[in-house]
Structure 1
């Protein structure tokens, strides 16, 4: 009887660690993805923050970090047999963010970050729900 309770605690701890990894990866991905979207906006308007060379280097690093964290999230989803729905939703958030950036080029307001944050929060909730529904051995 005592061993069963210990196992439940271990499973809860493992699930918490998985969720923390997924959350940290998602936060990095959201912030760096926004930097990439800002660079796309700068590129399309030909109005750079510092100059093209510096901005493109920052965007390349941010793009690499974003892709790296997307891959990490995909691995976490695949390793634990969770549906790909949270991952697809995150990608959809980036597509919508890019679409918003292109549409609002001349506007001083930029809601693409809000779109990415909403996509991240929804993505995290979907992942958490899927993670809690699986049974670990």
Structure 2
């Protein structure tokens, strides 16, 4: 396994609940699995089953190669991987929707600030924009974690960030304009296009992972 792909936090937390002796056995299993499995998702699922077996039974594999095959063949690893990828797709879609909505609120505030014309009041609009900005950053962080977990390129996240920046530039230009362009808000369209493009790239990449497995 690539050293840049660490164990999932959930796997590490689960392993820490083992007693000392079983944890030592687990570390031996973990070292072997990580050395022979290049897929981080598959490795973490195999290790999760190993932890469950250690909790229920006093096992101490004498042949790690045989035990590795047991983890790989005696549990529905492929099915679990597909289910996990499906959950990742759903989580990514939800996060992109929240990111789009919160980003639009932030971009609207930027346009209001440039035009010096607020929907309610400067302080009220500022408070709403700050909350929306926090939600936007939080969702971008969630998306980054999903990409890292699935060993997927950062292209979906880059597309979304580019859409946000492009929308901000458009709103600033529109806010500074005294013409008819100021009456229209194209940032939402840009964000929606970015959202669907990011989702499309992500789903295509996860489907590629599913085929490889």
Aligned residues: 135
51, 58, 76: which one aligns with 2:146 = 76
Paired residues for 1:3-22 under 5 Å: 6-22=76-92
Whose radius of gyration is greater, 1 or 2? 2
What's the offset of the Cα at 1:39? 0.3
Distance 1:39 1:103 in 2: 14
Report the equivalent of 2:167: 97
Structure 1 gap segments, 5+ residues each: none
Does residue 53 of the first structure (1) align with residue 113 of the second (2)? no
SS in 2 for 1:104: helix
What's the offset of the Cα at 1:8? 3.6
Provide the aligned C-alpha RMSD in A.
Answer: 1.9
Q: Deviations over 1:69-124 (max 9, x none)?
A: 00000011011110011111111101110111112224211110010000000000
Does residue 110 of the first structure (1) align with residue 180 of the second (2)? no
Structure 2 gap segments, 5+ residues each: 1-72
Distance 1:79 1:117 in 2: 25
TM-score, normalized by length of structure 1?
0.91
Following TM superposition, the consecutive aligned residue runs of length 4 or more in structure 1 with deviations greater than 4 angstroms are none
TM-score, normalized by length of structure 2?
0.60
Moved more, 93-102 or 116-125: 93-102
Distance 2:209 2:79 in 1: 15
44, 48, 66: which one aligns with 2:136 = 66
Q: Deviations over 1:46-77 (max 9, x none)?
A: 10111011000000000000000000000110
Does residue 43 of the first structure (1) align with residue 113 of the second (2)? yes
191, 195, 213: which one aligns with 1:120 = 195
